Every structure is written in structure tokens, then in C-alpha cells.
Structure 1
Amino acid sequence: MGRLDIGLDRRRVQNTPIPERTDAVDFVAIDFETANRKRESVCAVGVAIVCDGVVVEQASTLVNPDSEFSPYNSAITGIGPEDVVDAPYFHELWPLLADLLTDRIVVAHVATFDVGVLRQAVARYELPGIHMQALCSWRLARRTWPTYPAFGLSYLAGQLGLALDHHEAGSDAAASAGVVLAAMRDAKQPTLGGLCEAFGYQPGRLTPESFVGVLAGDLRNMRGAADADPDHPLYGRRICFTGAMFSMTRPEAAERILDFGAEFKTSVSGQVDMLVIGDADFVQFADGLQTGKMKNAAALRADGVEIEVMSERDFLALLNS
């Protein structure tokens, strides 16, 4: 595997949450920071390399996003235009990153966001795509520690004893790797495959042509509870979900709406009257970047089919009403 020799903060990492050596557990964790709400605006990238169940190295670099910084993003990341004047552009880093990630299992915290950043940055510069698998440490954490009140990296790092300089990309990547290794420890699973199988996960698959997101469980079309309150605003609605949700996993969302008498649909068709977009992707929808389900919904609406499209936040308001 290639080494990330671009790091502004590159160091060996000695600590690991796994108390004993775990052979044959190798993956790469990645984290992107962006300059604005467009995912193509990469302003930092961090990578952590896991070999034999140990985070052995992490590295990060600033990236010139070749676009404007929003005050909101700069307030979160601490990165502004003055910091990236001499930084490389994404397309200059891509050969090295592609070498690190190709044909690997790649972990990220809320992987839909980071894989989306990777895809859109590659598309922006018309770079060659890669094959890889994607695994989400945020989703795995929700299943491993269901009693935790939060699953952000800051909270998880505190609970699991992981070092974290939040929103420094290399540190975030290493912490994300640490979350997965700690999940393996606490779930008593010596392999990534066993961990995914234990929680009903199938890693996402990225190819140069497409991305199939992380799958959780065997979801299928399901009808709502017959004894649900008919006055609830979700009663009788036929609901489909797209994009990553911050508040719950897809199976949890399905269970919640069934309790209120709604039907869960796995795909968008004329039999759907509500499409909920996870907040990790809703801004992209507003910018005109759409998933396949969004495109199907737009086509059906153009043909006169009444499909309501809403954000995760608005859906939660209805769910809790």
C-alpha cells in the first residue's frame, strides 16, 4: 500500500482500543473537510491506516478547494482561504489517494458524506474513478452501543478513550478507525466481516460508475400497524427514504413509521406519496444533485403523481407531532 507522504501532521499512532492483537483486520479510514456546502469543495483530507487490527499511521493535508469558503464551514473546521494558499489541489493528490483506497475497505464516520465528497471531487476534475468498499463507523456505533445518547465522534471518543482533535482530518480519520476497532472488541467479533454480519450490514460498494450505499438488514416493503392512530399525520402514508439520516438508521425509521400506520417502501414508484431525504444529503438536493430515488420522484411529479419531498428534520417534526 502507498504511504501518505503529503501530511502536514503525520505521525505513528501507538494506542489502540483493541486489548490484544487482531490479525487480518486491515482497512483505511478517511475524513474530508469542505470549504462550503458543496461536497466537491475539499479543503482537507485525512487518512488513517489500520494493519493487523492496529491504527499504525495517520496523516492529513490541507487542500486548496478552488472555491469560496463559507463562514459556517470555516467556523466548524477552523480552515479559511489564507490557510490553503500553498496547499495542493484535489486533482494533484488524487493519484496518491486512489492508490491508498483502491480495492480496500474504507471506513468513514457518516460514510455517505465522505464518499459523496470523494465522488463529487473526482467528477469535478474528471478524474478516473476507483473500486472500493465503504463502511460507516457511525452506523456501526449505533448498533454496538444502543444506549449511548449520541454518536458523534466527540462523544464516542470520550466514551472509548480515543484521542481526538475534532475536525482535524487526520485525527477524525483515526478516531473513526478506533470506533470500528472498539466495536469489534465489544461485539467480540475478530473480523470486519463478522462484525458486519452480526449487525446485518453489507458494506457499500463504490465503482467508477456508481455507488451502492451501506445496507443494514433485509428491508422490504412493509405495511403499517392496523391499530395505529388514524389521526396521526403519517397514518396511511406510503413513505420511502433516501440518503443518510443523522437521527436514526433506515431500519429504525421503518420501524417507527410502521407504528404510526404508515407503509415503508424500498423504492420510489406511483405507490409512494412521501420521499424523506436524510439531512446529510438534503442540501445537495437543494443544489440540484439528486439520488436515483430523487430523480424518480421528480419524474413522477412531472407526470402528475403527488409525491411530497421533505427533509429529515421536517419528517421528525411530523413523527413527533
Structure 2
Amino acid sequence: MDFTAIDFETANSSRSSACALGLVQVRAGIITAEHDWLIDPQQRFDGMNIAIHGITPSMVRGKPTFHELWPTIEPLLQGEIVVAHNASFDMSVLRYCLDGASLTYPNFQYLCTYLLGKKILQDLPSHKLNVISAHFGITLKHHDALDDARASAAILLKLMEQEQQNDPLLLAGSQGYKSGKMYAGGYSAFSAPAKKPLKKQSAKAKTPVIKRTSTTVPHNTYEF
């Protein structure tokens, strides 16, 4: 039950505008370390984003840029199983920030608690972080980067407990998902294998054809 949960907040609609990061380390099913940083995105702040997370330009003034902070963050992600709620967003923020700073991608596998929750908790009306947190009785200050990362970690632990799994990767596999990966030079998404499309029947094949070789028609002589 070892993994690391993360959550990014952004200054605007650009995925390269990370202004906060929360990171929670879990070892043997217990949170052992928590980290959070304000980041100077060196970009404008949109009012909508400020309204969501409450972070303003004055709050990040003098804080490290992503490039400056990366030597601290990288060892906490390298080789880990990384977890995020709606991981496609957080992983894209990480990639855009790395690309913008001309930094090499780290190597790790990652899971998405949103997709896992959607598969496992099908009776819930929504699978947003606050809804699943409320379902499990997890306290949450939504859109606080550290609190969101903490909630993601707690949700994964609850899902593992419910499904009687003690390994995050085995939990994902049991639900038909393949872990996402980030590695030097590229990445792959957390996803379920694509279903094979059904073969279209030809017009000729739509009507059963019976081949008779005797008065008794064996079952396997029908062609569809």
C-alpha cells in the first residue's frame, strides 16, 4: 500500500500555469509525509481560477517557479505509484510544466481515483472529489491542493479496503484498468483496454442458410 497522491491548482486555463501543488506520501497504508507548495507560474491569474482555489498573484509573489522547485519534487515522484483524482488533468499540468521548463520527464506509474471511483461506486450520482469524499466521510477543503491530495489518498485506501486489495496496481487491474506511465520521452494514459468492435454482418450473412445433406440437419451446418 505504498503510493504518492498529488494535486495541482492552476492560475488560468493553461495547463502550464501551476500555482500550487499538494503531495501526500503513503507507506504501508498510512500517510507518512505531506508537502505543499505555492508556485509562481509567471503567468496571469484568471478571476475564475482565483474564485475556485483562492490563490492570488500576491500570494505567489516571491515563491519558487516550477523550474526552481522541480529538484525538490522530482525525488518524491521518481519510481512511485502516483495517484490523483482526475489524473488526466494533473498529469497534463505536470507534463506542460516540465515541457515549458525543458525538463526531462520522471519515471513513474499513475492511477486515477476518479475513474476507479466511477467504476466501483456506480450508485453515486457523481464521482467528483467532494462527492466521493462525503460518501466515505472524508473531511475535505475542496481545491486546497494539499487537502485534495490527502482526500485522493484516503479515497484510494477506502477503495482498496472495500475491494479487499492491498496493492494499488492490483486494484486497478481488477477493475479492468491499466496504469498510466510517465517516462523520459513520453507517457501513456491510465485507461481501460479498448473493446473490440463487433464485426458487421454482410447482407448475405444476415439470413441463415441451411445446407442439407440428409433429412437430419446437424446444428453446425448453419452459417450466420
TM range (shorter): 0.7 to 0.9
Deviations 1:219-265 (A, max 9, x none): 23414999xxxxxxxxxxxxxxxxxxxxxxxxxxxxxxxxxxxxxxx
Which residue number in structure 2 is paired with residue 102 of structure 1?
A: 78
Residue deviations 1:90-119 (CA, integer Å, cap 9, x gap): 111101111100111100001111000000
Query: Out of 89, 93, 96, which is 1:117 matched to?
Result: 93
- 2:17·2:97 contact (CA, 8 Å) conserved in 1? yes
- Are 2:65 and 1:89 equivalent residues in the alignment? yes
1:162 deviation in Å? Answer: 1.3
Cα distance in 1 for residues equivalent to 2:169 and 2:98: 28
The one-letter amino acid paired with 1:159 is H
Matched, 1:167 2:121: no
- Name the CA distance, whole Å, in 1 between partners of 2:97 and 2:199: 40
Residue ranges of structure 1 left out of the alignment (5+ in a row): 1-24, 227-321
- Alpha carbons of 1:71 and 1:224: their partners in 2 closer, same or farther (altered >3 Å)? farther
**1:74 & 1:197 partners in 2: Cα distance?**
37
With the length of structure 1 as denominator, give the TM-score of the two structures.
0.60
Partner of 1:146: 122
Greater alpha carbon shift after TM alignment, 27-36 vs 184-193: 184-193
Q: Deviations over 1:260-296 (max 9, x none)?
A: xxxxxxxxxxxxxxxxxxxxxxxxxxxxxxxxxxxxx
Pairing 1:179-198 to 2, within 5 Å after superposition:
179-198=155-174
Counterpart of 2:153 in structure 1 is 177
* Secondary structure of 2:41 counterpart: coil
Q: Give the TM-score, by structure 2 length.
A: 0.86
After TM superposition, the structure 1 = structure 2 runs for residues 1-321 of structure 1, keeping only pairs within 5 Å, are: 25-216=1-192, 218-223=193-198
Identify the residue that residue 288 of structure 1 maps to in structure 2: none
Structure ID, larger Rg? 2
User: Number of residue pairs matched?
Assistant: 201
When residues 141 and 224 of structure 1 are mapped into structure 2, their CA distance, relative to the original with a 3 A threshold, is farther
Identity of aligned residues (%): 36
Any unmatched runs of 5+ in structure 2? Answer: 202-224
1:163 shift after superposition? 2.1
Assess if the C-alpha contact under 8 Å between 2:79 and 2:109 holds in 1: yes
Sort the Cα spacing of 1:178 and 1:224 in 2 relative to 1 into closer, same or farther, 3 A. Answer: farther
- Counterparts of 2:71 and 2:21 in 1: how far apart (Å)? 14
The letter of the residue matching 2:144 is E
Cα distance, 1:159 vs structure 2: 1.2
Matched-pair contact (CA < 8 Å) for 2:169–2:179: no
| 1:267 equivalent in structure 2 | none
State the Cα RMSD in Å.
Answer: 1.5
Q: Residues 104 and 185 of structure 2 are in contact (CA less than 8 Å); yes or no, is this contact kept in structure 1?
A: no
Residue 112 of structure 2 aligns with an amino acid whose one-letter code is C
CA separation of 1:220 and 1:96: change in aligned 2, threshold 3 A: same
Tell me how far apart the structure 2 counterparts of residues 37 and 222 of structure 1 sit (CA, whole Å).
Answer: 35
Contact 1:58 1:171 in 2 (8 A): no
CA distance in 1, matches of 2:130, 2:190: 23
